A = this chain, B = another copy of it.
Amino acid sequence: AMEKSYTSMFLLLVAISCALAKDVGKKEAKETTAKPKLPQTLSRGWGDQLIWTQTYEEALFRSKHSNKPLMIIHHLDECPHSQALKKAFAEHKDIQKLAEKFILLNLVYETTDKNLSPDGQYVPRILFIDPSLTVRADITGRYSNRLYAYEPSDISLLYSNMQKALKLMKTEL
């Protein structure tokens, strides 16, 4: 009974996230000839009032030196699941407030670090990393086959995972 209830806690993901299609990048590359209306921002709509780091190297440096956990959001403009999660994330006041306690990075291109794709390179995918520079593989969403994916309806779970990332850090350091 215990085992059954445990497994039923994890839902099987059907189509809440997008795979990385090779054509996506190509399409984007072609679009570089069009001029943007406004300068591109580091927030990309995930929270314009928050401070976002530019690169993974910068994020790791800042996490280590500020002793804040790092939150990395992998997403794509062409992925409706990413867009829906972004909207929920940006409109959630408690998340926006709590996000100030993190070093923040959102990426549309994967890094070369395999530690950031423990179960694949799908989007949206949110990972927490300790200031000791360890990926928190234990902070996951609801889906057994894509552990770090979240739907907009999982936004409260994401919030509690952010609290968990802050609490675990304090306990373990």
- Docked Cα-Cα span, A123 to B30, in Å, equals 31
Chain B residues within 8 Å of A25, by CB: 61, 65
Q: Which residue of B lies closest to A52 (CB)?
A: B40
* B108 A65 Cβ-Cβ under 8 A: no
Chain B residues within 8 Å of A111, by CB: 55, 57
**Chain A residues with a Cβ closer than 8 Å to the other chain, count:** 33
Partner of A29, one of B28, B32, B54, B65: B65
- Docked Cα-Cα span, A36 to B26, in Å, equals 33
A49 interface residue per 8 A CB criterion: yes
Partner of A35, one of B39, B49, B52, B57: B49
- Docked Cα-Cα span, A110 to B60, in Å, equals 12
Q: How many copies does the complex hold?
A: 2
Chain B residues within 8 Å of A51, by CB: 32, 35-36, 40
Complex interface bits, A12-48 against B, C-beta within 8 A gives 1, otherwise 0:
0000000000000110111010011001111100001
A66 interface residue per 8 A CB criterion: yes
- Tell me, rounded to whole Å, the shortest Cβ–Cβ distance linking A144 to chain B: 29
A56 interface residue per 8 A CB criterion: yes
* A32 B109 Cβ-Cβ under 8 A: no
A107 interface residue per 8 A CB criterion: yes
Chain B residues within 8 Å of A76, by CB: none
- Tell me, rounded to whole Å, the shortest Cβ–Cβ distance linking A41 to chain B: 4
